[in-house]
Structure 1
């Protein structure tokens, strides 16, 4: 009974700390997605592949979306003419490189501020490097799903008889909370065109629907992640956790796997990682905080609406390898 009480207390403490950041992240993300025009942003992005990847990685400060909203925004950027290096950089970095996540991580690790800066710095470097690697593919259409590739083909070689549909400003349209996510670019464009002309009060109502739906979806993930953290800390023998968490290599591998499996929202994952701070190495905590937002298994369905499976495997593999190497360096030479 004492263990159950301890686990429940830890679970509630994680929920109470994390829920305000989840609500703030969802609300702020929705405001930007519904009222910001990305076409003007695309026009000023640098054309150089490396600088474009770096700029895309930094856009998260303007579009603070978590890993549940970064895929539709990255797709929109590509469909509006942004290079793939920009889209990949944004896809990987936006869930971490934004003020809300920085604030949440600082709140959780105020006694270990170096973890905050490792998280931001490694995420920025890894996202930029992977975006730069993908820029070597001159024709990216073989890496994209047929609907996105055909849309880009029409933009590159538009038919003379009719204009290709252009995705308008705003984000993917959730509509009523009972409707499924729209993932097809043409369906998405039609939905958005029917919304842009609507009055502000109508769009605010849609924003409320969007916020409620995301809170239901992400809140469930938060509850599950907090429960896993509490149960593992209380019921798993401490000798096992210490043996796994104090080794420089296995601790990183364990947290990489945990980050991929749990797939908890980046606005609150720092509180999840905090529960392991006393038993795992600093590098492994950074690995969880860097890799988790990049590789979100619950968002694979959305990623498959843009990229083919082999492209996603490339992204996952590069992100995991670079995260492991950087965090191993932290364990061996800094911690």
Structure 2
């Protein structure tokens, strides 16, 4: 009975610490997605593969989303014409390289600031490296799911049509009217513009607010459920698992890193609150293994893999998983031996 009481107490403490950061992250990510114009952002992205991958990895400061929200944003970036290196860099780094997650990690590990610093450095290095590797595939469509590739084709077709509209008016087919300025105007375009102006909705702001609230509610419902589940798993492992088993796994540099990477992939907890989750293991596991959890989990977990399937083909996700796992293991193992 005392074990259940201890587990429930630990479970509630994790929830109380993490819920404010979850709510703040959801509110900011939902708001910024409406106020930041992705097309203008893409037009200013560098075309150099390595620099583009690094800049894409840092865009998380503008879109503070966790591993649930980064997939829709990365998908929009690809369909809007962003380079592959930018989109993949953002996809892997955004759940970690954003102010909400950095702040939450600092609050959880205030006595170990090196964890905050190396989490940022390792996440940036891994995301930039993988984005640069995939930049050698100039055309992203072979990497993408069929439906998403069709959207890219449609965007390219629409862009081609807009370019054709820049052709001198009298060289284009159709019926023309003479505007007040003396320039010819295509009659069909004039009629369409008049129709859109006449039928322009007057409740745009209200609809936008409703969409914002719906997004917040959906994010809180989905992420809140994952937070409750993850906190319950952490509390159960700490209280119910044999202490000797945890200590044996946690003190060896190699097995502790592997164990925490597997745990991060299986638990699939939100990056906004994962620092509070792994804090429960700080007394039993090495610092390198805690870093492995904090770096690898936001990039690749079961929940993220399911979402990534909406963008990439399965073999591409396997490549992402393998490269991210190897780089995380090498970096965190190096940290364990040299720091």
TM-score normalised by the chain length of structure 1: 0.87
Aligned to 2:145: 145
State the distance in 1 between where 2:201 and 2:25 align: 23
Q: Please give the residue correspondences for 1:1-335 in structure 2 after superposition, counting only pairs within 5 Å.
A: 1-156=1-156, 198-334=203-339
Q: Structure 1 22/159 Cα, relative in aligned 2: closer, same or farther at 3 Å?
A: closer
Shift of 1:34: 2.1
Report the Cα distance in structure 2 between the residues aligned to 1:67 and 1:288, rounded to whole angstroms: 14
Query: Which structure has the larger Rg?
Result: 2
Q: Output one character per residue of 1:5-47: Cα deviation in whole Å (capped at 9) or x when no partner.
A: 1111110100000000000001110001122211111111101
Shift of 1:209: 1.5
Q: 1:57 to 1:282 in 2, by over 3 A?
A: same
Task: Tell me if structure 1 keeps the 8 A contact 2:60–2:95.
Answer: yes
1:65 match: secondary structure:
coil
Structure 2 stretches lacking a partner, 5+ long: 164-199
Number of equivalenced pairs: 305
Cα distance, 1:228–1:197 mapped onto 2, change above 3 Å: farther
**Is residue 84–residue 138 contact of structure 2 (8 Å, CA) maintained in 1?**
no
CA distance in 1 between counterparts of 2:159 and 2:208 reads 33
RMSD across aligned positions (CA): 2.0
- Alignment gaps of 5+ in structure 1: 164-194
Report the Cα distance in structure 2 between the residues aligned to 1:161 and 1:322, rounded to whole angstroms: 43
* Cα distance in 2, alignment partners of residues 197 and 253 from structure 1: 56
Q: Is this contact kept in 1: 2:80–2:155, CA < 8 A?
A: no
Matched residue, 2:170:
none
Structure 1 residues 271 and 159, CA gap change in structure 2 (3 angstroms)? closer
Where 2:253 maps in the other structure, the secondary structure is: coil
CA distance in structure 2 between the aligned counterparts of 1:285 and 1:196, rounded to whole angstroms: 51
